[in-house]
Amino acid sequence: MKVNEYVRAASLEEAYSLKKSSPKNKILGGGLWLKKGNGDVDKLIDLSRLGLDQIKEEKDYVSVGALVTQRAFETSPIIKKIGGGVLSDAVHQIMGPAFRNSATIGGSVYGKYGFSDVITALLGFKVDLVFYPEEVISLDEYVKKPGFADGILTEVRIYKSSAKSFFKKVKMTALDYPILNVCVTKDKDYRIVVGSRPLVACLCEGAMKYLNEGGKDVDQAVELAMQELKLGDSMSAKGEYRSHLARVYLKRALEEVK
Ligand SMILES: Cc1cc2nc3c(=O)[nH]c(=O)nc-3n(C[C@H](O)[C@H](O)[C@H](O)COP(=O)(O)OP(=O)(O)OC[C@H]3O[C@@H](n4cnc5c(N)ncnc54)[C@H](O)[C@@H]3O)c2cc1C
C-alpha cells in the first residue's frame, strides 16, 4: 500500500469531508488491515486527536470509542463485566498482544470481515453503532446491509447484559483466522450467532424464535439453525466441515447457556 499524504484530522467534520471528497481517501484505525491491501491511498486520515479511544460506562450501555484497541478492550474491567467476560475472551484469541495493541474496535466492526471474531461476539449482544455525522444503526442491521457505511464510526454502544454466554473460535493454529466461530448468549432471550461461514456472521433467527417462544428441545433448535445457515467453502475449510462444526458447537453452546 502506498500513501500520498497523512492527515491528522483536527475535527470529525474535517475527517468526514476528506473521506467524502475521494474514494482514495481512507480513515485509519490501527492500519493492520489497510496495510494488507494493494490499493493506493491518497489521504490517510488519522482520528487520534479526536478522543475516540475511551471506554465509558453509561447507565444502560458501555460506550467504546472507535479507536479503542483490541487490547484495551480485552483487558477493560468494564468489558469483562458484560456477559461473563465473553467479549474479552473472544478478542483475546486474535493474533498476539502486540497485534491487539494496534488493531482497533472501530476498524474491526466497520470492515465487516467474514472471519471476524469481534463481530460474532458483539452480535451476541444488543449493540448500536454511532456514525458521524448522524447515523445510529444496530449491528444486526449493519451486517445485513450491503456495502459499508458512508460516515465515520465514532462509537460502539454495547448494552449492558449479564447473559450466560458461550464463544468458540475454531482454528487450525493458535494465530490463525477462524474456520468457524459461534457465539450464543441467553439473557431474557437467546441470541445465536455463527460467523466465518465464510461470510460475515449472522443471527440464526428461526432457532432464536423457537427458543424465545418457549421451545425447549436443543436438538430441534440446532436443526432449525442448520436449515437457515448458509455455510460455504473457503481455502481453509469446506462447507461440509463447517456444517459439522456448527452442529457440534451450537449444541454445546445451547446446553451450556440454558
Ligand atoms: C494478519 C491478520 C490476522 C487477523 N486475524 C484475525 C482473526 O483471527 N480474528 C479476527 O477477528 N480478526 C482478525 N484480523 C482482523 C483484525 O482483528 C482487525 O479487525 C483488522 O485489522 C481491522 O482493524 P484495524 O484497526 O487494523 O483497521 P484498519 O486497517 O485501520 O481499517 C480497516 C478498514 O476500516 C476503515 N475504518 C477504520 N476505522 C474506521 C472508522 N472509525 N470509521 C470508518 N471507517 C474506518 C478503514 O478505512 C479501512 O477500510 C486479522 C488481521 C490481520 C491483518
Closest CA to 62 of 166, 161, 131, 132: 161
Tens of pLDDT, residue by residue over 106-146, are 999 999 999 999 999 999 999 999 999 999 999 999 999 99
pLDDT score for 38 = 81
> Domain 164-257 maps to which CATH number in 3.30.390.50, 3.40.50.2000, 3.40.640.10, 3.10.110.10?
3.30.390.50
Domain ranges of the chain: 3-46, 55-159, 164-257
Tens of pLDDT, residue by residue over 3-52, are 999 999 999 999 999 999 999 999 999 999 999 988 899 999 999 999 99
* Antiparallel, parallel or unpaired: β 41-46 and 3-8: parallel
Tens of pLDDT, residue by residue over 158-217, are 999 999 999 999 999 999 999 999 999 999 999 999 999 999 999 999 999 999 999 999
168 membership: H or E segment, kind and range:
strand 164-170
- Cβ atoms within 10 Å, residue 212: 14
Q: Per the structure block, which three cell numbers stand in for 33?
A: 488491515
Position in ligand 1 atom list of the atom nearest CA 66: 41
Report d(CA 72, CA 70) in Å as an integer: 6
To test the ligand 1 pocket, which listed residue (104, 117, 175) has its Cβ within 8 A of the most ligand atoms? 104
Report d(CA 18, CA 252) in Å as an integer: 48
Tens of pLDDT, residue by residue over 220-230, are 999 999 999 99
User: Ligand 1 centroid vs 80 CA: distance in angstroms?
Assistant: 22
Report d(CA 56, CA 199) in Å as an integer: 31
Position in ligand 1 atom list of the atom nearest CA 31: 30
3-state DSSP assignment of residue 42: strand
Q: How many residues does the chain have?
A: 258
Residue pair 62/78 in contact by the 8 Å Cβ criterion: yes
Report d(CA 50, CA 53) in Å as an integer: 8
pLDDT score for 181 = 98
pLDDT score for 37 = 87
Q: Whose CA is nearest to atom 31 of ligand 1?
A: 107
> Cα 93 from chain centroid?
13
> Cα 95 from chain centroid?
15
To test the ligand 1 pocket, which listed residue (28, 44, 110, 150) has its Cβ within 8 A of the most ligand atoms? 110
71-99 in b/e form (b: 16+ CB < 10 A) is bbbbebeebebbbbbbbbbbbbbbeeeee
Q: Does 178 sit behind a cis peptide bond, omega within 30 degrees of 0 on the bond before it?
A: no
CATH fold for the domain made of 55-159: 3.30.465
Closest CA to 49 of 18, 16, 9, 13: 9
Mean residue pLDDT of the chain comes to 97
Report d(CA 77, CA 87) in Å as an integer: 11
Residue pair 117/178 in contact by the 8 Å Cβ criterion: yes
Q: Per the structure block, which three cell numbers stand in for 101?
A: 495493541
Say if ligand 1 is within 6 A of residue 12 CB: no
pLDDT at 1 over 90: no
User: Ligand 1 centroid vs 165 CA: distance in angstroms?
Assistant: 25
Say if ligand 1 is within 6 A of residue 66 CB: yes
What number is the average pLDDT over the span 148-155?
96
